[in-house]
Amino acid sequence: MSLPAYPVEAVPSPSGPPAPTPPGPATPAPVEARPGSTAARGHLFNGGTTARYRAVLADGVGRVARRAAGVERPFTGITPAELAPRVSGIDLDRPLDDTTAALDELDEVYLRDAVWFHHPRYLAHLNCPVVIPALLGEAVLTAVNSSLDTWDQSVGATLIERRLVDWTAERIGLGPAADGVFTSGGSQSNLQAMLLAREEASQAAPSPQARAELLPRLRVLTSTAGHFSVQKSAKLLGLSPDAVRTIPTDAQRRMIPAALRREIERCRRDGQMVMAVVATAGTTDFGSIDPLDEIAGICAAAGVWLHVDAAYGCGLLTSPTRRHLLDGIERADSVTVDYHKSFFQPVSSSALLVRDRRVLRHATYHADYLNPARMVEQRIPNQVDKSLQTTRRFDALKLWLTLRVMGPDQLGELFDEVVERAAGAWELISEDPRFEVVTKSPLSTVVFRYLPTGPGRGLADGANLYAREALAASGAALVASTTVDGRHFLKFTLLNPETTLDDVGHVVQLIAEHAGRYVHERTTADLACRVG
């Protein structure tokens, strides 16, 4: 007998009596006390172990809460050489047979030295503090352990993910034919977008032989400030080593449209096919946003796939004041969003959105044991038909609960706060004669460097690298580093609304002290050598 063919929007509700209310907190019975069962079975999560589940998780959550409440600095400064022997010395073949003991050990090898992104002086990478509704979602999804590949493993989870995909596509403005799927992160989203673009471009080839001849001629154009995953994706997709061509940027580190147009024309003259242009809405280093609308016009005129990597800038989709910075994104063929960057979600939570749902067929394979083709005719929604992954976590639940508890406006207000704080930080550093800054970001990064004066000016690169390392070793703050035009710079990435300008000013002063000490010691030593 075939399964009922219910449409996605009208799945029948389960019948029967309501589920019983879970019992209240109870002291878990010892594992060994379960009659007729081995000790190992006592660790399985099921209806008979719920009391133990509650107690064990409460202990773990309590420890994390106590650690978080007591954090005085984002990092302890521990080195790999110090921590590695502790971890490698643990005999994994000899269990502790006690949850409390295991958590005590975990505190020593992980929690005590963890990097805490919620601390206001964590200013390094695109790691955000997370909202509590999302943490609730994480707890629920891991216990139920749905797998978002087929309907019969996920049921309501599939519909929740699809609703969130529709919601995001609506925020972007991709139109009624849009679709998408959650992914592990921006790199995977970009990879799948490039796969779809490659397959769409390859349809121009009339035969397998012609396709093989086309593959080395495919080109991907992105800016010099674009994400490295574009180059990585090209390699994974079997494109030629020089397939990715970088387009120069202007003073604000945005792709120059005129240069893009020239490169598309040059590729065609040279017998190459541009399979995709990758514009960036929030570059990792500078937070720069390419002129999306103008780029979209160029791509439309040339018949080229436009992908927008908005892994960072997607937070603007909920901004009450800055949504216009993404104008033009609605014209993209595909878009990457990372909720775990600017929607304050735990890792991992990302998605790829496409304008035309039909292109997702390029990621579809049917397996008789999993998602046979007949299920499409029966309108059974299997997310594996759209995904590069098979087994996949229900990461969408975190965003779902966040929206249902907080709503998008509150998320947008939080993101606006960090953007405003970054603008204040840029002003603060640009007015400090000890530093030079790069471009002012429309998002929440600040790229700058300590610039010595006098005979120590040539030590700028070493001074900035030393300052970052010394700061990390102290644990007082964490900042990132990058290179700009071949020179070493430091970078603040602000994603914590709790970070104040006083925090920023304190870290800037620490950097100046560390860098100044480095320059003083080197110039003094150099002078001593010359005198000697």
> Could you give the CA distance from residue 313 to residue 338 in angstroms, rounded to a whole number?
9
Beta strands in 283-333, from DSSP E residues, in sequence order = 305-310
For 524, the 3-state DSSP assignment is helix
CB 121 within 8 A of CB 511: no
Structure tokens at 328: 């033009």
Write down the residue that tokens 């002078």 correspond to: 527
Structure tokens at 492: 């603040």
> Could you give the CA distance from residue 144 to residue 406 in angstroms, rounded to a whole number?
23
**Dihedral class, residue 5 (left if φ above 0, else alpha if ψ from -120 to 50, else beta):** beta
> Could you give the CA distance from residue 339 to residue 312 in angstroms, rounded to a whole number?
8
Does 223 sit behind a cis peptide bond, omega within 30 degrees of 0 on the bond before it?
no
CA angle 515, 520, 525 (to 5 degrees): 130
- Sheet hosting strand 218-223, strand order edge to edge: 179-183, 350-354, 334-338, 305-310, 273-280, 218-223, 244-247
Partners of 277 in the β-ladder: 221, 306
Which domains, from first to last, does the chain contain? 138-405 (3.40.640.10), 410-531 (3.90.1150.10)
Partners of 353 in the β-ladder: 180, 335
> Could you give the CA distance from residue 16 to residue 37 in angstroms, rounded to a whole number?
31
Contacts of 490 (CB under 8 A, 6+ apart): 447, 448, 449, 450, 464, 467, 468, 479, 480, 481, 511
Residue type, 501: L
Structure tokens at 21: 């209310």
Along the 532 residues of the chain, how does pLDDT read in single tens digits? Answer: 333 333 333 333 333 444 444 444 444 545 544 454 588 899 999 999 999 999 999 999 999 999 999 999 999 999 999 999 999 999 999 999 999 999 999 999 999 999 999 999 999 999 999 999 999 999 999 999 999 999 899 999 999 999 999 999 999 999 999 999 999 999 999 999 999 999 999 988 889 899 989 999 999 999 999 999 999 999 999 999 999 999 999 999 999 999 999 999 999 999 999 999 999 999 999 999 999 999 999 999 999 999 999 999 999 999 999 999 999 999 999 999 999 999 999 999 999 999 999 999 999 888 888 888 888 878 888 888 999 999 999 999 999 999 999 999 999 999 999 999 999 999 999 999 999 999 999 999 999 999 999 888 899 999 999 999 999 999 999 999 999 999 999 999 999 999 999 999 999 999 999 999 999 999 987 766 766 6
For the chain, the farthest-separated pair of C-alpha atoms sits apart, in whole angstroms, at 95
> Could you give the CA distance from residue 231 to residue 194 in angstroms, rounded to a whole number?
10
**Dihedral class, residue 348 (left if φ above 0, else alpha if ψ from -120 to 50, else beta):** beta
**SS in 3 state form for 249-295?**
ECCCCCECHHHHHHHHHHHHHCCCEEEEEEEEECCCCCCCECCHHHH
* Beta carbons within 10 angstroms of residue 415's beta carbon: 29
What is the C-alpha radius of gyration for the chain, rounded to an integer number of angstroms? 26
Write down the residue that tokens 């993404």 correspond to: 326
For 172, the 3-state DSSP assignment is helix
Determine the pLDDT at residue 373.
83
> Could you give the CA distance from residue 500 to residue 385 in angstroms, rounded to a whole number?
45
Determine the pLDDT at residue 206.
84
* Beta carbons within 10 angstroms of residue 207's beta carbon: 8
CB 252 within 8 A of CB 289: no
Q: Per 3-state DSSP, what percentage of the chain is helix, strand, and coil (rounded to 5)?
A: 50, 15, 40
Residue type, 161: E
Distances (CA, A) of 94 to 90, 91, 97, 228: 9, 6, 9, 42
State how beta strands 478-484 and 122-123 pair: parallel
CB 329 within 8 A of CB 172: yes
CB 510 within 8 A of CB 523: no
Contacts of 340 (CB under 8 A, 6+ apart): 128, 185, 346, 347, 348, 349, 350
